[in-house]
Structure 1
């Protein structure tokens, strides 16, 4: 009888320890996954210009349709430069959308190109404070660790439509943001919704 009680007590102890380890492991996984899911907040604005918002107004440009460039390699787009003539900001339209709704933004340094489409900003900055020249460390501090990196490009993706209120709000299948670095400094910001 005493041996039987000892065996039962030992089994209870073993099961209890195993369950405790499983619970701790599950808690760590949940914490890690929640950190990765909630830490990345997508940008939808550059200065006061917003993705997928027909009420966004380009000061001084009432009819963007006349400025749109279409080629076989890209979505239709319009590019602008900042006041300092150092940065280029490109807005992309989806085929079939109106010319007052943009679905992708790109910010990069100006490369000896001649532009006449100026916007009254000294710099182009996202609402989370991402701008050209930012260090990789500072970007990750702002955007989080849930990214993929390939050839000096850090990429964040939201693609699970069913579990993403963000994608459901815009009724689009995926969102991406890509940050290109040279010598540890941000030289290109490209983000928006994937063309459906």
Structure 2
């Protein structure tokens, strides 16, 4: 009787060991598959840059004539490089057009869009335009959610969190990329600043040399 019980216990132990090995292999295979899927997902490269705000275009000096066909003042005390400051006709949003060192007159290498209430020091320097709001050629505009941004721009971005805000950044750092090669500039980037999942500031263009 004791021998039968011992053999039975050995059999049960063997079955439990087999079950454990099968479960472990299954879990390992699942993790490997998930890792492969994630790696495949993360290898998607950002390839949807924007170059225009309304009718104003990066690195295209003639586009300012369509956007605002009057004399405009370059300001050198607002950001790290001289800018021209615009606002929509309701004075709710601002647009800064950055002119880097070496840029020709009315040629801009970076754009910034935000709410004027968030940067009140700009109020005395902005030039009012005819536009209801500012948006890019792909439809990006203030007030969008992260989901709406990623639907337009994809998932190849980096996230930086600062207290109650998130900064989402896309970048093209290959100078031979066909989307930016013609500009012969440093890396192209897009940055989106969100609070409570609402977009309140956009920067995009070329990195400062």
Do Structure 1 and Structure 2 share a fold, with TM-score over 0.5? yes
Unaligned runs of 5+ in 1: 1-23
Q: How does 1:7-156 map to 2 (within 5 A)?
A: 32=41, 36-37=44-45, 40-58=47-65, 59-64=67-72, 67-71=73-77, 74-111=80-117, 112=120, 113-151=123-161, 152-156=166-170
Kept in 2: contact 1:132–1:187 (CA 8 A)? yes
What TM-score, normalized by structure 1, do the two folds share?
Answer: 0.76
Residue 30 to residue 135, structure 1, CA distance change in 2 (3 Å): closer
Q: Distance in 1 between matches of 2:37 and 2:146?
A: 27
Once superposed, what is the RMSD of the aligned Cα atoms?
2.4
| 1:148 to 1:55, Cα distance in 2 relative to 1, 3 A | same
- Structure 2: gaps of 5 or more residues: 1-32
Residues 94 and 126 of structure 2 are in contact (CA less than 8 Å); yes or no, is this contact kept in structure 1?
Answer: no
Task: Kindly tell me the number of residue pairs found equivalent between the two proteins.
Answer: 167
> In 2, Cα distance between the equivalents of 1:121 and 1:61?
13
Query: C-alpha distance in 1, partners of 2:134/2:116?
Result: 12
Aligned partner of residue 170 in structure 2, secondary structure = strand
Determine which structure has more spread, i.e. the larger CA radius of gyration: 2
> Distance in 1 between the 2:52 and 2:68 partners?
19
Residue-by-residue CA offset, 1:30-74 (whole Å, 9 max, x unaligned): 96477x12x53000001111000121024554333xx11113951
